[in-house]
Amino acid sequence: QKEVEQNSGPLSVPEGAIASLNCTYSDRGSQSFFWYRQYSGKSPELIMFIYSNGDKEDGRFTAQLNKASQYVSLLIRDSQPSDSATYLCAVRAGNQFYFGTGTSLTVIP
Amino acid sequence: KAGVTQTPRYLIKTRGQQVTLSCSPISGHRSVSWYQQTPGQGLQFLFEYFSETQRNKGNFPGRFSGRQFSNSRSEMNVSTLELGDSALYLCASSLEGTRNTEAFFGQGTRLTVV
* pLDDT tens digits, B52-84: 999 989 999 999 999 999 999 999 999 999 999
State the pLDDT confidence band at B98, using cuts at 50, 70 and 90.
low
Return the minimum-mean-pLDDT range out of A16-20, A95-99, B82-86.
A95-99
Task: Count the neighbouring beta carbons within 10 Å of the beta carbon of residue A30.
Answer: 22
State the pLDDT confidence band at B49, using cuts at 50, 70 and 90.
very high
Per-residue pLDDT at A7 exceeds 90: no
Cα distance between residue B106 and residue B8, in whole Å: 11
Q: In terms of Cα–Cα distance, which of B43, B103, B64 is closest to A95?
A: B103
CB nearest to A101's CB, from B42, B56, B105: B42
User: A-chain residues within 8 Å CB-CB of B21?
Assistant: none
Contact B66, B89 (CB under 8 A): no
Is the Cβ pair A34, B102 closer than 8 Å? Answer: yes
CB nearest to B48's CB, from A44, A46, A96: A96
Contact B106, A43 (CB under 8 A): yes
Is the Cβ pair A45, B105 closer than 8 Å? Answer: yes
The chain-wide mean pLDDT, for chain A, equals 93
User: B49 or B98, which is more confident?
Assistant: B49
Decide: helix, strand or coil at residue A15.
coil
Whole-angstrom Cα Rg for chain B: 13
Is the Cβ pair A34, B55 closer than 8 Å? Answer: no
Is the Cβ pair B42, A100 closer than 8 Å? Answer: yes
Contact A91, A30 (CB under 8 A): yes
State the pLDDT confidence band at B1, using cuts at 50, 70 and 90.
low
Residue A39 C-alpha from the chain's centroid: 14
Q: What is the pLDDT of residue A31?
A: 86
Per-residue pLDDT at A15 exceeds 70: yes
Q: What is the pLDDT of residue B96?
A: 76
Residue A73 C-alpha from the chain's centroid: 6
Which residue in B has a C-alpha nearest to residue A86's C-alpha?
Answer: B42
Per-residue pLDDT at A19 exceeds 70: yes
State the pLDDT confidence band at B100, using cuts at 50, 70 and 90.
low
CB nearest to B99's CB, from A88, A92, A96: A92
Which residue in B has a C-alpha nearest to residue A41's C-alpha?
Answer: B88
A54: left (phi over 0), alpha (psi -120 to 50) or beta: left
